[in-house]
Copies of this chain bind each other. A is one copy, B any other.
Amino acid sequence: MTHTASPTDAAYVAVDWGTSSFRLWLVGRDGAALAERRSGEGMTTAARTGFAEVLQSHLAAISAPEGLPVLICGMAGAKQGWVEAGYLDTPAALSAIPAAAVRVPGVEADIRILPGLAQRDATAPDVIRGEETQLLGAAADLGSGNHLVCMPGTHSKWVRLSGGKVEGFSTFMTGELFDAVAKNTILSHAIADAGAIAPDNTAFRAAVTRMVANPALATSQLFSVRAGSLIAGLSPEDAKARLSGTLIGLEIAGALSLAAKDTPVMLVASGSLGTLYGQALAAAGLSPTVIDADTAVRTGLAVGAKALWSL
């Protein structure tokens, strides 16, 4: 996707560089996106073809002025990425994230990569890379006080914010477990050929509710997907919904177990995953505020760029 830029107005370049995706925005002095690029050249690809080369090709494609500062978040800062950007340890003030960005050495332009967050806790060690920037963007809309921020995905992140500080966070392997269980266990027969889960699927909501009530039964509820298919005529659609609702409900129960009752919840998500989590949170009795994940990461990069370069 390419737009034509008006190079004279450009202030900086923002990049969200994930494991398998690359997104770049040329941002104007007024904060508007003058051009945007999206591609599949994530960390995995760029580690082979060269990070500098990938970035340069996209800058050239939009005729970006030479020498603009570039702010990057995501897996480009991982150990296997371009330049390792390390982690800020929790508790961490969100405002400390931009200053901890690491500069890419050996290039003339000011290219910086934002750090991740690390929770160095013996019983719950955890890491974030990429979502800290969504968080920086989403928090711009939050007041002080305590907040629980849900960022669903392959590895869902739930962050406990107090004022502008990350007190702690938890990663739930929900999306990756869904794939592993759906493809590589006996449940694959029960959900074969099922389509997308309908937003109003009652089997999904019931599974979420059961997990919030008794999360200890999670792996038994998973087997009930198989047994329900064998002896109770559970349809492939409802089987898939039950599997998804069990894993998402377990995640919600876990996240709530670490926060004070009635802590306000914010959902940072996009598309069908956002719809599904909205349904799940409602089934769990929660009324989250919702922020689009794409908007959040762009806002987070803008907050970072302003802090670093007084733009």
Report which A residues bind B (CB closer than 8 A): 87, 118-120, 122-127, 155, 170-174, 176-177, 179-181, 183-186, 206, 210, 214-224, 227-228, 230-232, 234, 247, 250-251, 253-254, 256-258
Q: How far is the CB of A75 from chain B (nearest CB, A)?
A: 13
Contacting residues, chain B, for A256 (C-beta < 8 A): 216
A to B CB contacts below 8 Å, 14 in the list: A122-B232, A124-B220, A124-B224, A125-B234, A126-B220, A126-B223, A127-B231, A177-B181, A177-B219, A184-B184, A215-B216, A216-B253, A217-B254, A219-B254
| Given contacts A216-B250, A232-B120, A176 and B186 within 8 Å (CB-CB) | yes
Could you tell me the distance between the alpha carbons of A275 and B195 in the complex, rounded to whole angstroms? Answer: 42
Could you tell me the distance between the alpha carbons of A1 and B257 in the complex, rounded to whole angstroms? Answer: 53
Could you tell me the distance between the alpha carbons of A183 and B181 in the complex, rounded to whole angstroms? Answer: 11
Interchain CB contact under 8 A, A127 and B227: yes
Q: How far is the CB of A118 from chain B (nearest CB, A)?
A: 5
Could you tell me the distance between the alpha carbons of A127 and B220 in the complex, rounded to whole angstroms? Answer: 11
Copies in the complex: 2
Interchain CB contact under 8 A, B227 and A125: yes
Give which listed residue, B171, B184, B227, B231, contacts A171 with CB less than 8 A.
B227
| Given contacts A118-B231, A183-B184, A231-B118, A220 and B254 within 8 Å (CB-CB) | yes
Contacting residues, chain B, for A210 (C-beta < 8 A): 123
Could you tell me the distance between the alpha carbons of A76 and B103 in the complex, rounded to whole angstroms? Answer: 65
Contacting residues, chain B, for A251 (C-beta < 8 A): 219-220
Could you tell me the distance between the alpha carbons of A195 and B155 in the complex, rounded to whole angstroms? Answer: 27
| Given contacts A120-B232, A215-B216, A180 and B172 within 8 Å (CB-CB) | no
- Determine which residue in A181, A183, A206 has the highest number of CB atoms from chain B within 10 A of its CB, and name it: A181
Give which listed residue, B181, B218, B232, B258, contacts A125 with CB less than 8 A.
B232
Contacting residues, chain B, for A227 (C-beta < 8 A): 119, 125-127, 171
Q: Looking across the interface, which residue of chain B has its beta carbon closest to that of A78?
A: B230
Q: Looking across the interface, which residue of chain B has its beta carbon closest to that of A156?
A: B219
